[in-house]
Structure 1
Amino acid sequence: MPPMSVRELVALGTSSAVPTARRNHNGYFLRWDDHGILFDPGEGTQRQMRLAGLSATDITRICITHFHGDHSLGLPGTLQRIARDKVPHTVRAAYPVQGQKYWQRLRHATSFVDTDVVAPQPVGGLGSCLLGEADLRITALPLRHSIPCYGYRIAEPDGWRMLPDRLAAHGITGPLVGRLHKEGEVTAPDGTRVHLSQCALPRPGQVVALVMDTAPCPEAVELARGADLLVIESTYLDEHAHLADAYGHLTARQAGQIAARAGVRTLVLTHISERYDAADDARFTAQAAQAFDGTVVLAQDLDRIPVPRRRR
């Protein structure tokens, strides 16, 4: 498992429907402390994970946005690798319930010695779908695409930032600090009751959102609301906006507009059409930046993109 406190996105693949010489099919791995969330494993995901120094044991959850091949054809190999490597922990797998038949086909695509650690967790409906973790709030919302497609929001619960000067003023030291943080109230050495709000400030939890194939829609903005890191498809440039509209995709500019409306901190563009080459890369970030004044990153295969530090 990855070391505690590491929070980063590993871009395993950044192409769209067709892989290219420099962009593999989709695949995104989010390290989050002791969680390892694999999104949309397309073809070649096993190899890309190996190149990135990741193993099947690092995966604690899989999230599939939809069952188009570039987002899911790497699933059989990934699941078989989980079985082959005898991963000991439960691996929950979220996917659109409307694609249950595709899940079944991919889950049992070929003959292999199976494992019982993979736990299906289909998502569905028009509203939020919460996927439980003890220390994370994972939300799925439907997007606007040609087949059922869900985006995901990974949110850390809000917490508190302890203030040393206020702790000292109230005589709170040593184990009392931990108790105050955990219990919300303690008795100080002088006998007074001290509340957490007297010695700490609210600290918003970190948020990562992943929005794949979609036309512009309110749900994309809601998933990205206040996100520290938004990973979003930007399949086309402005001159091909008509194709984005026809196929239920976004341009880089539209991705920037969503990020701006949602108040995102760092925008990561991905899912790039095979029609573009390296000479077009700067145009993606430039067009997104015309709509969004935060940090814009055009993901490349095997990039490691840190989740920004918590807001203060």
Structure 2
Amino acid sequence: MSVRELIVLGSASAVPTKTRNHNGYLLRWDGHGLLFDPGEGTQRQMTHAGVTASDLTWLCVTHFHGDHCLGVPGIVQRIARDGVAHRVDAAYPESGTVYWRRLRHAAAFHDTEVIREQPVSGEATRLDTGDAPFTLTARRLDHYVEAYGYRLEEPDGVTMLPAELAARGVRGPLVRRLQEDGAVTAPDGRTVTLEECSVRRPGQKVAFVMDTGLCPAVYELADGADLLIIESTFLDEDEPLALERKHLTAGQAAAAAAAGGVRHLVLTHLSERYGDADEERFLRQAAARFSGEITLVHDLDRVPVPRRRAVVRPRPAE
């Protein structure tokens, strides 16, 4: 059975707290495991979450500030130690290659050859996902060091309409042929098209946005996302500080989600200046600008990707 969910391994910002570990986000997607921004302690958080190195197929780093990458050495060495045999792709800003190499070889260990590096550069990079059931794009954000957000997209599909198939006598192997060829000849000799018997099913989309000020890429990444995982470092009253440090407030993150028609907004990367009592304020400020589902995550939370939605084909007028 396919599983599509976010596992939160850490949700703090620059400084971890007693209740929030440094960053770490695992997106499980139909047998693939995309680990974003492993900070310190990610290995142990994976153990708490029941995640193994063998679950990982991607390692994606948004930028090379410590809270987003200091867990890389442990993850790489765990991949080697556990003998992971399948390929693990690694995406990171090309401008930070020197930091990647330091992290990748931070200590003595028996190395692994399964990691394939895919550095990103420019305003946007389409990564090579091979035969994976999704595309992965990196877009440059606005931060003090070069930083990228990531967007995973599933291709659009179709949902077959049983009543329309039955009305045209299309059943059994003919249904598969209709899906593959786009048209078949029905038992009565009529040509039946896929369009007549199906509706478009939009592919699911997930966006991951970390340290950044508001910029066009934030909106491009969020556009139409079913799940938007986005930093919410500051409360709205601290917007001048957010602007100075090139981060987002709860309200700004929510406004980007509203502009993009996001279905489920996930807030994370909270500054250590706020305590547990402030969480309700983050939610209120986000809800003031976004009317959809909002989750302010905690470590080890699991957030399912919203179920697919079908676009219903308008019925012809009688």
TM-score by length of 1: 0.97
Which residue does 1:32 correspond to in 2? 29
Match of 1:191 in 2: 189
Q: d(CA) in 2 for partners of 1:298 and 1:250?
A: 14
TM alignment of 1:147-162, pairs within 5 A: 147-162=145-160
Shift of 1:188: 1.5
Partner AA of 2:258 in structure 1: A
Q: What SS is found at the alignment partner of 2:2? A: coil
1:225 is matched with 223
Q: Distance in 1 between matches of 2:254 and 2:115?
A: 36
Deviation at 1:193, TM superposition (A): 2.0
Structure 1 segment 91-102 matched on structure 2, within 5 A: 91-102=88-99
Match of 2:85 in 1: 88
Letter in 2 for 1:245: L
The one of 253, 265, 271 equivalent to 2:269 is 271
Give the distance between the partners of 1:225 and 1:212, measured in 2 at CA: 16
Give the deviation of 1:191 after TM superposition.
2.3
CA contact (8 A) 1:136 1:155 kept: yes
Whichever residue aligns with residue 173 of structure 1, its letter is R
Amino acid at match of 1:5: S
* CA–CA separation in structure 1 for the residues paired with 2:125 and 2:111: 32
The alignment status of 1:46 with 2:51, answered yes or no, reads: no
TM superposition outliers: structure 1 runs of 4+ over 6 Å: none
Distance 1:60 1:191 in 2: 48
Amino acid at match of 1:238: D
Q: Which moved more, 1:92-101 or 1:120-129?
A: 120-129
Cα distance in 2 for partners of 1:128, 1:104 equals 20
Name the residue aligned to 1:115: 112
Matched residue, 2:200: 202
What one-letter code is carried by the residue in structure 2 that aligns with 1:69?
Answer: G
- Between the two proteins, the alignment pairs up a number of residues equal to 309
Q: Tell me how far 1:128 sits from its aligned partner.
A: 4.2
Structure 2 distance, partners of 1:7, 1:191, is 42
- Given candidates 121, 137, 153, the residue that maps to 1:139 is 137
Residue type matched to 1:140 in 2? Answer: A
SS at match of 2:39: coil
Distance 2:307 2:271 in 1: 31
Residues 1:127 and 2:143 are matched in the alignment: no
- Tell me the distance in 2 between the aligned counterparts of 1:86 and 1:179: 41
Give 1:239's aligned amino acid: E
Separation in 2 of the partners of 1:185 and 1:34?
32
Match of 1:238 among 236, 239, 243: 236
Query: Which amino acid in the other structure matches residue 129 of structure 2?
Result: G
Whole-Å separation in 2 of the counterparts to 1:271 and 1:65: 13
Q: Conserved in 2, the CA contact under 8 Å of 1:131 and 1:139?
A: no
State whether residues 178 and 194 of structure 2, in contact with CA within 8 Å, keep that contact through their aligned partners in structure 1. yes
**Contact 1:228–1:265 at 8 Å: present in 2 too?**
yes
**Greater CA deviation, 190-199 or 288-297?**
190-199
Q: Superposition RMSD on alpha carbons, in Å?
A: 0.9
* Contact kept in structure 1, 2:88 and 2:115, CA below 8 Å: yes
Which position in structure 2 is the counterpart of 1:300? 298
In the alignment, the residues of structure 2 paired with residue 174 and residue 16 of structure 1 have an alpha-carbon distance, to the nearest angstrom, of 54
**AA matched with 1:76:** P
What are structure 2's unaligned runs of at least 5 residues?
A: 311-318
